[in-house]
A and B are shown apart, each in its own frame.
Chain A
Amino acid sequence: MVEHNHKLTVALAKLEKEKVPDKDLWVGIAHSINDNIPATPVKQGRGVAMPIAASFILFAAVLLVTKIDPLSEPSSQGMHGDALVQAISQQHEEQKLSLLTRFSEKAAVTDDWQQQLNELDEAASAVKRALAEDPDNTALLGMLQHIYQQQLLLIERVHAPKWQQI
């Protein structure tokens, strides 16, 4: 009996928890979540925020892909590693400051947006720490950019929801 108990315990410890479904389940999921089911109330403001956010995203993407800053000297075209991270971060801080200034007189539609902004700041710091060890990791650079985009979107959405634009 004790031996059987041990056998079961050992087998349990070795049991693989993951299993692969036979078919791609995402198709059905994507179909359902595409039926405009909101993930959060804040998403209501997306229609107006998207074009503005898209312009930021496009600008940031162009900056990263081409690594060209039209205001700087030609020597910065080969920017990479630490310098690129600093350039992206500085650019982001300017955009963020500009948005915050623009919306400084407007009330936010949620109370915890600054906390969310801080959480994103912490995430960005974590990514930057990782980048300090692996400066040319494109996945981490993409991640940093995405966090910055999320911050800009957040500021937009909480200050300029769709219903205020009508």
Chain B
Amino acid sequence: MELSHATVTDMKPDTLRVRESVLLRAAVNGDRDAYREIYDIHIKRVFGLCFRLTGERGMAEDAAQEVFIQVWRTLSNFDGRSQFSTWLHSVAANVTISYMRRQKNWLQRMFDIESVTLAEPETSGCSSGVDLEKYILRLPERARVVFVLHAIEGYRHEDIATMLKIASGTSKAQYHRARQLLEDWMGAD
């Protein structure tokens, strides 16, 4: 696969989809160059998800690497019924949560509801004047994870409950808590 990334990103959506299906077929057959192109297409979106879930760049980088290694190993499981990006993001969310669980203090952070993440401030370039990105990173971990999965990634509370091994009611409560905190912080601006 000798097509440059610049060429790929310049393609129309339909052409890109065809191109992606060709790359996927090649990658399933062991073509690492094709897989590199798939990585180039999706890394920013996957990293964005990993970063918001972990709340930390270093962890997000580790998690994103783990996502693409896992996806390479399980690429043949992708049945093509959904869009590849949908499947990839689902794998990314699950792998990242699993990665976070393995880190020290996961249980403490997940269940310490009142603690607030002291994440490094990161601006999003949001033109509304409200730096939502910074506030999301300030959320307590469990509220942040639920908020990211539901409000940004569009997962249902039932799915989030399964992913986090919590009750769906807990997921809803954490989501509302996150919204409340964000609204308060944004209102104070």
Do A and B actually bind? yes
Which residue of A21, A22, A123 has the most chain B CB atoms within 10 A of its CB atom? A21
Q: A107: CB under 8 A from chain B?
A: no
How big is chain A's contact interface, by range? 35 or more
Tally of B interface residues using CB under 8 Å: 55
Measured CB to CB, the closest approach of chain B to A40, in angstroms, equals: 4
Q: Once the chains are docked, how many angstroms separate the CA of A39 from the CA of B34?
A: 13
Measured CB to CB, the closest approach of chain A to B41, in angstroms, equals: 11
**B1-34 contact mask (Cβ, 8 Å, vs A): 1 or 0:** 1110001000100110011011001111110100
Interchain pairs with CB closer than 8 A, number: 145
Q: Once the chains are docked, how many angstroms separate the CA of A7 from the CA of B132?
A: 10
A residues adjacent to B (C-beta < 8 A):
1, 3-5, 7-8, 10-12, 14-23, 25-26, 28-30, 32-34, 37-40, 42-43, 46, 116, 119-120, 123, 126-127, 130, 139-140, 142-143, 146-147, 150, 153-154, 157
Please tell me if the beta carbons of B29 and A4 are within 8 angstroms of each other in the complex.
Answer: no
Question: Which chain B residues border A147 with CB–CB below 8 Å?
Answer: 22, 25
Q: Once the chains are docked, how many angstroms separate the CA of A151 from the CA of B36?
A: 21
Interface of B is mostly: helix
List 10 interface pairs A-B (beta carbons < 8 Å), by A numbering. A15-B152, A19-B44, A25-B43, A25-B64, A26-B43, A32-B72, A37-B73, A40-B29, A150-B22, A150-B29
Interface of A is mostly: helix
Which residue of A17, A32, A34, A39 has the most chain B CB atoms within 10 A of its CB atom? A39
